Amino acid sequence: MTNNDIRAERIRPLNDRKATGRPLVVYWMQAAQRARTNHALEYAVRAANELRKSLVVFFALTENYPEANERHYAFMLEGLKETQETLRGRGIPMVVRRGEPDKEIAAFGRDAAMVVVDDGYVRVERGWRRSAAAALDCPLVEVATNVVVPLAAASPKEEYAAATLRPKIYRLLDGFLTPLRETPLRVKSVEPAIDSWDIGDTTAALVRLDLDRTIGGVPSIRGGASEAEKKLRAFVKNKLAAYAEARNDPSLDALSGLSPYLHFGQISPLAVALAVKKGQRYGQAAFLEELIVRRELSFNFVQYNRAYDRFEGLPDWCRTTILEHAGNHRPYLYSRAELEDAATHDPYWNAAQKEMALTGKMHGYMRMYWGKKILEWSASPREAFRTALALNNAYELDGRDANAFAGVAWCFGKHDRPWARRPVFGTIRYMNAAGLRRKFDADAYVRKVEALARP
């Protein structure tokens, strides 16, 4: 295969099987739910061309993804429908099945000469890949496409902070920040003789799924690659130049809005980075820091820290200082239900919770404040960690991924340094309402969220 634009560092065999004479190459789409700028898909196309096999894209739709609910599935289905249509335009069929992904791909892979899968990092995704690698009797190859610089190439260990990962990424970045070409199929793909679960009507498909329906979809945002690309173009044209100054002001509309699309793999981080680099120079560095260094620091965290979703996954100094101050007086204590209902004394915190509930997204600066206050207002540090993660993962469209786990952990000191000691927090960084008001017009932020809540 000619893969000059898919570097060897992106490719990782997950078992030692040999390619068979069976009729298909299968791309097991899982975390990269897109038809464009997808290294795993293009690798599978090129493998099918070399082996002279038909290519099929396979997606298994599980109803049991941890902490996922109707909000997440509605957005995902919108994206999958568009991806299926785009692939069809390239002559590539996409089969969708309901069931556990590892079991479904093991069954579907009986007709496969080889299976290619995209890169997944959280525990459930890694578990599916291990299980499938053991069950398949053909090669299973993972191709990294959801990060700009493959994790193992950047670092073989958990990094302390952005400051330690940044130089490692930037030494490699130019080699990976290159366009990915789209390869035409040489062998016509034929729809396999197997039923595909119908997602053409996403509303009807959503109704047929057995889901947690306590939190519904967000009417103001649609999933799909075309929506992501539209947001990207608008950001580069209208917001990038002011991004460095405006990004930490939640009262403004200064962010890209791309995180839900990146979460579901509906847009490639490489495509985003390349588009930004073509835009106005001012603002590029600040945005690429967030998109590449900070985002990939979170992937580094979940890859190398087995307890990334638990209080025990925090650094020793964080746990020690928080627990030393666990018995300190807390002027306010709130239950998880009160927090979920935004029923605190703090209008800024309430606005942040409401923004997340209404829009599926909370401004990043407010999420830092939001998480710090949950630590301050909970009966114990461990309860605070569980509450912050549960609320984040339930309401955020980009919850339950590496950024979510690292973002919550940051509120408890991860990827940060010790600060001046104070009650409850110890040496964990502290934030308060007065600090918000010094940084930006916090009352304007409250009014902005209240306007969203009005019919």
Q: How far apart are CA 88 and CA 396, in angstroms?
A: 31
Nearest to 139 by CA among 49, 12, 16: 16
Predicted confidence (pLDDT) per residue in 56-98, tens digit = 999 999 999 999 999 999 999 999 999 999 999 999 999 999 9
Is 234 found in the same domain as 101? Answer: no
Q: Which residues of 301-315 are buried (b: 16+ CB within 10 A; e: fewer)?
A: bbbebeebbebebbb
Single residue among 304, 320, 337 that ends a domain in this structure: 304
314 in any annotated domain: yes
pTM, entire model: 0.97
Q: How far apart are CA 127 and CA 27, in angstroms?
A: 18
208 in any annotated domain: no
State both tokens at 124: 């459930």
Is 315 found in the same domain as 239? Answer: no
Domain that residue 17 falls in: 8-146
Residue 251 above 90 pLDDT?
yes
217 in any annotated domain: no
- Who has greater pLDDT, 280 or 128? 128
Q: 377 to each of 159, 372, 373, 451, how far by Cα in Å?
A: 30, 9, 6, 27
Residue 191 above 70 pLDDT?
no
Is 273 found in the same domain as 346? Answer: no
| Confidence band of 455 (pLDDT split at 50, 70, 90) | confident
Is 240 found in the same domain as 142? Answer: no
Q: Domain of 22: which CATH number?
A: 3.40.50.620
Is 374 found in the same domain as 292? Answer: no
Predicted confidence (pLDDT) per residue in 271-315, tens digit = 999 999 998 889 999 999 999 999 999 999 999 999 999 999 999
Q: What is the pLDDT of residue 114?
A: 97
